[in-house]
Chains A and B, each alone.
Chain A
């Protein structure tokens, strides 16, 4: 069984100056493994048995390598960084397309994709649904419990309703954030982060990044009012 986890380097975009780094361009922000991704990753490691593999994947600049290296040291079997200058400035749609191309080409035998709450796209949580749609997979949002026993079972919390569903293999799950258990880092890690670019994924320049985006930011409200 292969579990893929979407890792985000930084989620605290309050640190990023949105005025300067339009369209989620975080190339100049500091490196951090965000707590939502960390919780998602820890959940995958908690479910993983000996014969299973956990694959961590991030879309971003080379600075995201640190987060993926941390995942390898915490028990991830593989780590992929999707990095290319052409990916810069992509919105949730472009990012989902990049990830769906990666999943289809490199880990098409996956069983489950786990995303953190508010994953990867300015806290708007569009990415899991877009990724699921592009992969023609089922999606499960607001998941507070995820177990595997003769199939996946997910418990979702919709605020006024809690329900448990059986999830098919190949589903995309977005986890609600819970308590993060500390996983000790291995001192020695012989695995490396594999870096893939646009060509590796077989994507055209107009499919990714700013050019492949379906939305654009045209200015700040403060600028418009002044």
Chain B
């Protein structure tokens, strides 16, 4: 049966399933196409006693701003001490910054970090999620990928865009290969040192959204010590 795909009747309307839309409209407006848009990046706060964002996060941000033309969403975990960093983050390409504020998240808890990133990803529905392949980034992103039923490529050394597809260069054994994620969001962690931190791309202004984390996922830390 010649079913009409343009109305909700599923081909049972009186017109006998004839499409009443202007020619070409169905092909132009693909209702099954993903509406995911934007690039989300976790900007990891340094945990070595010095203040600031991890260099690998900034490197990844600069590369993201270079290859992606749409809106870039940054995510940081921390308290008010991060405010002086806003200008630098915005100048390197972030348009909207989600600042996850919870005193409990001053300590690193991978499950809670993942839950918060997942909640933000569900809110903005990004096409791409990136992070630096630091020890923490390599731990949180795979958990996030599995929790949102997505795949990811770890430790990438190159990123480029082909339409809406993110081409990811990484190594398998001694060979460098190009991979891509199926579906969205497309996720990757970038090997530290793979990209350069560029000069400021725009003025240091943007939108900050304070995000209150209300979830669980906190570990029972018995002791912690800083090591050199």
A joins B in a complex = yes
**How far apart are the CA atoms of A19 and B174 in the complex, in Å?**
10
Q: Is B176 part of the binding interface, using a Cβ–Cβ cutoff of 8 Å? A: yes
Q: For A138, give the chain B residue with the smallest CB separation.
A: B111
Known: A16-B173, A139-B143, A222-B176. Is A160-B47 also a contact (CB below 8 A)? yes
Closest Cβ of chain A to B154, distance in Å, is 4
* Known pairs A96-B146, A141-B135; A214 contacts B177 (CB<8 A): no
A164 touches B151 (CB 8 A): no
**Residue A153 at the chain B interface, CB threshold 8 Å:** yes
Q: A13-B173, A158-B108, A217-B177 are in contact. Are A129 and B221 (CB under 8 A)?
A: no
Q: Which of B147, B220, B222 interacts with A133 by CB under 8 Å?
A: B147
Main secondary structure of the interface of B (DSSP, over half): mixed
A36 sits at the interface (CB 8 A): no
Task: Please give, as numbers and ranges, the residues of chain A lying within 8 Å of B180 by CB-CB distance.
Answer: 215-216, 218
A128, A131, A138, A213: which contacts B219 (Cβ < 8 A)? A138
- Residues of B in contact (CB 8 Å), total 51
Q: From A37-45, A119-127, A186-194, give the one contacting chain B.
A: A119-127
Q: Does A199 touch B at the CB level, under 8 Å?
A: no
B222, A158: Cβ atoms under 8 Å? no
Chain B residues with CB below 8 A from A221, complex form: 158, 169, 176-178
Instruction: State whether the Cβ of B80 lies closer than 8 Å to any Cβ in chain A.
Output: no
Q: Given known contacts A161-B224, A164-B222, A166-B222, is B179 in contact with A217 (CB within 8 Å)?
A: yes
In the complex, the chain B residue whose C-beta lies closest to that of A15 is B173
Q: How distant is the Cα of A70 from the Cα of B29 in the complex, in angstroms?
A: 58
Give the residue name and chain of the A residue nearest to B176 (CB). A221
Contact code string A199-225 (vs B, CB < 8 Å = 1, else 0): 000000000000001111111111010
Contact A126 B110 (CB under 8 A): no
Q: Is the CB of A92 within 8 A of B142?
A: yes
B129 contacts A by Cβ under 8 Å: no
Q: Which residues on the B side are within 8 Å of A62 (C-beta)? A: none
Contact with A126, one of B152, B158, B225 (Cβ below 8 angstroms): B152
**Is the beta-carbon distance between B225 and A162 smaller than 8 angstroms?**
yes
Q: How far apart sit A32 and B145, CA to CA, in the bound complex (Å)?
A: 30
Q: Is the CB of B179 within 8 A of A216?
A: yes
CA of A127 to CA of B47, assembled, Å: 25
B220 touches A165 (CB 8 A): yes
- Which single member of B142, B155, B173 contacts A129 (CB below 8 Å)? B142
Give the dominant DSSP class at A's interface: mixed
A14/B182 in contact, CB under 8 A? no
> Is the beta-carbon distance between A160 and B220 smaller than 8 angstroms?
no
Q: Quick one: closest A residue to B108, CB to CB?
A: A158
Query: With a CB–CB cut-off of 8 A, which chain B residues contact A93?
Result: 145-146, 150-151
Which residues of the partner chain B approach A14 to less than 8 Å between Cβ atoms? 173-174
With A163-B221, A215-B151 as given contacts, are A18 and B48 in contact (CB-CB < 8 Å)? no
- In B158-172, which residues have CB < 8 Å from any A CB? 158, 167, 169, 172
Pick from B140, B174, B178, B225: contact of A217, CB under 8 Å: B178
Does B177 lie within 8 Å of A158, measured CB to CB?
no
CB within 8 A of B154: which of A18, A124, A139, A157?
A: A124
A164 touches B135 (CB 8 A): no
Residues of B within 8 A of A220 (CB): 175-178
Q: A132 CA to B143 CA in the complex, in Å?
A: 7
A130 CB-CB contact with B under 8 Å: yes
Cβ–Cβ contact B176 & A214, under 8 A: no
CB distance from A201 to the nearest CB of B (A): 17
Residues B146 and A164 in contact, CB atoms below 8 Å apart: no
How near does chain B come to A217, taking the closest CB pair, in angstroms? 5
The answer to whether A80 has its CB under 8 Å from any CB of chain B is: no
Q: Which residues of B contact A163 (CB under 8 A)?
A: 221-225
Partner pick for B177 among A91, A92, A219, CB 8 A cutoff: A219
- CB-defined contacts of A158 to chain B, threshold 8 Å: 47, 108, 135-136
A196 near B: Cβ within 8 Å?
A: no
CA distance A24 to B171 in the complex (A): 12
Distance (Å) between the CB of A66 and the closest chain B CB? Answer: 22
